[in-house]
Structure 1
Amino acid sequence: MFTPKTRIEKTVFGVLMASVMVYGMETYNTALLHGGMTNSFFLLPLSEFLGFVVIVMVLQEFIGGPIARKMAFRLVNPSSDKPLTVTLMIQAMTVCVMCPMMSMVASLLFKGIDIQIPAKWVQAVIINFPMAFFWQIFVAGPLVRFISRILFVRPQSN
């Protein structure tokens, strides 16, 4: 299991994770908006991709990450629990924090600011949370850790 240790590893890992999460969620929301999936939707999210990656990284670094880690470490102990358990708990808590924040950002950007924004935000969270959770646990997390293991080869310890 790859866990970033150096500042460079953490930065690259963060960029990769934000990129994979943004791409997956943007593709998902584009498909929802158009009533289904087509091959062309795999390219559509690229138009908003960079902006959302930056927003995710800033929110994750200063708000989402610290809160998610505090929440996770109330439930697991990094020094005594299995690394997989700790990683999955951090991932789950990150989705619990980031999904509502990013749903608010998307609601404000795409649905406009009006009296209905609380309802629009709640609806966005309800629609996005299951996808964000499963995408993070089963696709983004494993994929980014796999790529990171290739990028940052570490000596094997016996």
Structure 2
Amino acid sequence: MEFTARRREEPIDESVTEFYSGEWKNDSRSGFGVCERSDGLRREEGKYKNNVLVVSSRRKGMLFVRSSKLKERVEAAIETANRAASIAQQKADIAVSRTSTAKERAEQAMFVAKQARDDAEMARMEAERFDPNFKPQRVVNQNIQRVLRSKPFCFKR
């Protein structure tokens, strides 16, 4: 189908005819199509909506100012992006706080564990001073575990 259409934005010579090849709906360009002139100029190929080029196929994804409500859509997208950035910043701050708390608690646990090891060593030395044959429970438990692993046996009920 060939349709004659004149653009308001550009002055066109009276002898030049513009042809639109593409989807046509409700007496207007709608969907994908191409505008060509009789003088050989091929322009405005892409997606149309209500006779207005919305997305150019030459420049992928580029939106044109002529599309309706573009400014509102851009402002809404910016607002959504700013809100998402704010939420991401809050989550990052929470993560930093939790990380520092976990690090502090880990350091405290390491300090308490070292104190417990030192106390256990002092207790072992005191016990050996009173009883030279004293063996720490840890050594006894290790010996029992070694015996249990070396001799398989069945428990009877």
TM over 0.5: no
TM-score normalized by the length of structure 2: 0.19
Structure label with greater radius of gyration: 2
TM-score normalized by the length of structure 1: 0.19
Answer 1 or 2: higher relative contact order, Cα 8 Å, separation at least 6.
Answer: 1
More helix by share: 1
More strand by share: 2
